Amino acid sequence: MRIIESIQEMRFWSDAERREGRRIVLVPTMGALHEGHLSLVRDGRKRGERLVVSLFVNPAQFAPQEDFAAYPRDFERDQVLLEKEKVDVLFHPSVSEIYPEGYQSYVEVEKLSPLLCGEFRPGHFRGVATVVAKLFNIVRPHAAIFGAKDYQQLQLIRRTVRDLNFDVEVVGHPTVRDQDGLALSSRNVYLSREERAAALALHRSLKRAESLVLRGERESKRIIDAMRAEIEKEPLARIEYVKVCHPETLEQVARVEGEALLALAVWVGKARLIDNTILKA
């Protein structure tokens, strides 16, 4: 596995691979890798001849009071895990390589960004869309893989690719969970043993909603109320939002007709946890 830190070297490598007609797949990450990331990497391995994983904790997507400094980092461990997956290139640029002095250009996705998580994390999706656009221009992949755990991010990137004519196939990958249902996340390391147990309320509430819909419930409000009641049983959990939305526009819907996105964000201790499912009426 080659480790590349400079944009110029990354470009040079990609150009050479492209000239040979090889299909390049990119899996963008912020490191602190877990089985969720590795599942994307294995998917990527099958989708092209060359596999690039980027590891960059992107300051532009963290607000000043958020956990950029505390975000878990373990480059050596990540490197070993990616070697085992036969990754071709680990792209690991510094912050100053990506945002040199004088940097001032950003990608705004006007309607999707302020919804759901964007309401509570202003500027977050501007940072995400910007760094992904930059990674696409630097790595020049044919395809890129993103997890459905970050559903809003996946939709936002699909939108950016369409709007800005990026020649990249965006692949969504299902959420990977621990055996007990907790969605894997780098931020789960923030949880104490008691908090981890409390965090299961997210998955439980999604299951509760799915079973309500299965039994014929269509009213978003009643589904949300039942989920809130489920989560509020956990004194360590604090709900940020629970919403039923259109799966593409992410606008809230009053009723579940066809498919709807059910998304939630819940604080447990220092960890802000998100999860979602697609409800099918």
Rule CB under 6 A: say whether 131 interacts with ligand AMP: no
Binds ligand AMP (CB under 6 A): choice among 10, 14, 25, 29: 29
User: In the numeric block, which tokens belong to residue 278?
Assistant: 């697609």
Binds ligand AMP (CB under 6 A): choice among 7, 30, 200, 253: 30
Rg (CA), the chain: 19
Find the shortest distance in angstroms from Cβ 165 to ligand AMP: 22
- The contact mask relative to ligand AMP for 139-158 (x = CB under 6 A, - = no) is -------xx-xx--------
15: number of Cβ within 10 Å: 11
Active site residue 37: yes
The C-alpha atoms of residue 131 and residue 151 are separated, in whole angstroms, by 17
Rule CB under 6 A: say whether 135 interacts with ligand AMP: no
Give the interface segment with ligand AMP, choosing from 32-40, 112-120, 193-201, 258-266 (CB under 6 A).
Answer: 32-40
Nearer to ligand AMP, 184 or 279 (CB): 184
Find the shortest distance in angstroms from Cβ 16 to ligand AMP: 26
DSSP string across 198-225: HHHHHHHHHHHHHHHHHTT--BHHHHHH
Find the shortest distance in angstroms from Cβ 128 to ligand AMP: 9
Q: Residue 59: exposed, middle, or buried by beta-carbon count in 10 A (0-12, 13-18, 19+)?
A: middle
The C-alpha atoms of residue 277 and residue 174 are separated, in whole angstroms, by 10
Find the shortest distance in angstroms from Cβ 222 to ligand AMP: 28
124, 154, 175, 225 from 112: Cα distances, Å: 12, 11, 21, 25
- The contact mask relative to ligand AMP for 85-124 (x = CB under 6 A, - = no) is ----------------------------------------
Question: Which residues neighbour 163 within 8 Å (Cβ) at sequence distance 6 or greater?
Answer: 109
The C-alpha atoms of residue 1 and residue 90 are separated, in whole angstroms, by 7
Find the shortest distance in angstroms from Cβ 275 to ligand AMP: 9
The C-alpha atoms of residue 242 and residue 260 are separated, in whole angstroms, by 13
Selecting among 37, 92, 173, 203, the annotated active-site residue is 37
Catalytically active residues are 37
Binding site for ligand AMP (CB under 6 A): 29-30, 36-37, 40, 146-147, 149-150, 173, 175-176, 183-186
